[in-house]
Structure 1
Amino acid sequence: MLNEFKTFIAKGNVMDMAVGIIIGAAFTAIVTSLVGDLINPIIGLVSGGVDFTNNYAVLAGEVPAGASLEAAREAGASIFAYGAFIMAIINFLIIAFVVFMLVKMVNKVKDAAMKEEEAAPEAPKGPTAEELLAEIRDALKANA
């Protein structure tokens, strides 16, 4: 059983997947920062600072009028935080679009590199082993 596990772990697929997960986690931090620190403030300026995060409905309990979502949670009220959910959806759509644009850009660069490789002239190939053997055979027949 232990040997099977070692074989499984040593396969390239598992190692590639592990590297992908680690890079994905680092990439998530970059994209989250890009969206939160650069894109959302620009969207906030354009949309007049629309933020639904503090929109909620009180299901049970007492909450002071105009209290923030955090204050309502601290008061112990049972709340339906639909505004936070709407903002999560908006952030997801923005992040998905940014990732789409990044992947599209990477694919474009990759395709350009592939075209350059294809366009590069191939070095002339030498004779095959069979051709060399045929030449030697013919030269030996001619000398005999």
Structure 2
Amino acid sequence: MRICFVCVGQVKKAGISEAAAEYLKRIKRYSTVEIAEVKDESASPKTPREDILRAEGGRLLSKIKPGDYIAVLADSGKEMTSGAFSKHIEGLMVSGRKRLVFIVGGSYGIHQEVYDRADIVLSLSRMTLPHDLARLVLYEQGYRAFTIMRNEPYSH
């Protein structure tokens, strides 16, 4: 099963970018990984939030293919332990899904149309995380999920 991370914007902070690259490299030992970064909407302070969300949401939705399993990240989503997250991914693999798509929104959030397309809304934390940090945590948990599935030590 391919794992695709569809994200608004790019990771800009050097330390986070380096750590993210390391976890993505580790995940690639277990699965084919795709990264799709869509442009964040540049807007003036007068631009309505809904317009920004709609524009970014359209870009996110353009990366989804028929049959994809869509997991949207939001602080209001379902919380899982690392073990439960691993079992969830393993269940998708066993079910024959071709692609698991994680969607990480930008600083304005995610448009309702994207939520409506989601198969699941997941929360990494009840706290609001900067999207750079959310991506890093997601990549780390993805790697951890595969080590749990394979009963491998995490630190190797």
Structure ranking higher in helix proportion:
1
TM-score when normalising by structure 1 = 0.22
**Which has the higher relative contact order, 1 or 2, with Cα contacts under 8 A spaced 6 or more apart?**
2
Structure ranking higher in strand proportion:
2
Structure with max Cα Rg: 1
TM-score when normalising by structure 2 = 0.20
